[in-house]
A and B are shown apart, each in its own frame.
Chain A
Amino acid sequence: MNAAAALPCRVLIVDDDPDIVDYLSALLEDHGFEVRSASDVTRALAELRRSRPEVVLIDVLMPGRSGLDLLVTIRRDPQLADLALVVITGSDQVLEDDCQSYIGSHNGLRGPDGVLAKPIHPGSLLAVLSQLTARVTLG
Chain B
Amino acid sequence: MEADLDTTISTADARYRQYWEEMPCYLSIHDPEFRIIDGNRRFREDFGDRIGEACFRVYKGREEVCPSCPVEATFRDGRSHGSEQLLTTRAGVEVPVMVHTTPIQDSLGHVIAVMEMHTDIGEVKRLESLLERSEGRLAQLFEEVPCFITVQGPDRVIQHANRRFRDTFGPAVGDYCYRVYKHRDEPCLVCRMAQTHADGQLRDHEEVVISRAGDKLNVLCTTAPVRNADGEVEAVIEMSVDITQIRQLQTQLTSIGLLVGSISHGIKGLLTGLDGGIYMVNSGFEKGKPERVEKGWEMVQRNVDRIRGMVLDILYYAKDRELEVVDIDIAAMVAELREGLEKKAGDLDVDVRIEFANDVGSFPGDPQAIRAMLLNLLENSLDACRADRSGGGHFLRLAARRTPPWLVVEVEDNGIGMDRETREKAFSLFFSSKGVKGTGLGLFIANKIVDKHGGTIIVESEPGRGSRFLIRLPLRARPSTHPETMTDSAAVPATAETDV
Binding site for B on A (CB under 8 A): 16-20, 22-24, 26-27, 30, 39-40, 43, 59-64, 90-91, 117-120, 122
Contact = CB atoms under 8 A, between A and B. Distances in A.
24 contacts: A16-B435, A17-B273, A19-B272, A19-B277, A20-B276, A22-B280, A23-B273, A23-B279, A26-B283, A27-B283, A30-B283, A39-B387, A43-B389, A61-B435, A61-B436, A63-B416, A90-B268, A90-B269, A91-B268, A117-B268, A118-B436, A119-B271, A120-B272, A122-B275
Given A16-B387, A23-B299, A119-B272, 4 more contacts: A17-B273, A19-B276, A60-B435, A118-B271
B436 A22 contact: no
A40 to B, nearest CB: 8
Contacts of A61: 434-436
B212 interface: no
A23 B435 contact: no
Nearest to A67: B435
A119 B268 contact: yes
Contacts, number: 80
B295 interface: yes
A64 B268 CA distance: 22
Contacts of A26: 279-280, 283, 292
A39 B389 CA distance: 7
A119 B292 contact: no
Contact of A91 (B265, B280, B295, B422): B265
Across the A-B interface, give the 8 residue pairs with the lowest CB-CB distance, nearest first: A23-B276, A61-B435, A90-B436, A119-B271, A39-B389, A119-B272, A118-B272, A118-B268
B128 to A, nearest CB: 69
Contacts of B277: 19, 23
A20 B273 contact: yes
Contacts of B292: 26
B432 to A, nearest CB: 9
Contacts of B299: 19, 22-23
B386 interface: yes
B437 interface: yes
B463 interface: yes
Contacts of B435: 16-17, 59-62, 90
B489 interface: no
Contacts of B268: 90-91, 117-119
Given A119-B272, A119-B275, A19 B302 contact: yes
A60 B434 CA distance: 11
